[in-house]
Amino acid sequence: PPAPCCHECCPLPLNNGNESPGRSLVVDFESPLFVGTLLMRIRGSVGGTPHPYDDTRGYFAGANRRYQAVVRGVFKRGGIPMTECV
């Protein structure tokens, strides 16, 4: 469903680093050049995963990280210079 602030927007599913293995929330996306998946983790976030945030375990335990963003996917065609991707 659209976000209340914008009819073209949608909420981004957030993980807090304490999600069970294989149970992370992700966003699948596709553009004219790329198809992939985005995973976002934000330290201390609540409501995105069933496990409450616990600073002593999970992805953020013992680290000074605040967030993690992972994009995984493939280019739809070869020969695309990296300068066109950023």
Q: Provide mean pLDDT across the span 15-35.
A: 90
How crowded is residue 36: how many other Cβ atoms within 10 Å of its Cβ?
16
pLDDT in tens, 42-66: 999 887 788 889 989 999 999 999 9
pLDDT > 90? residue 13: no
The two three-digit tokens of residue 45, written as one number: 């976030």
CA–CA gap between residue 15 and residue 7 (Å, rounded): 24
Of 76, 5, 40, 15, residue with least CA distance to 85: 76
What integer pLDDT is reported at residue 62 of this predicted model? Answer: 92
What integer pLDDT is reported at residue 48 of this predicted model? Answer: 78
What is the value of pTM for the model shown?
A: 0.77
- How confident is the prediction for the chain on average, in pLDDT? 85
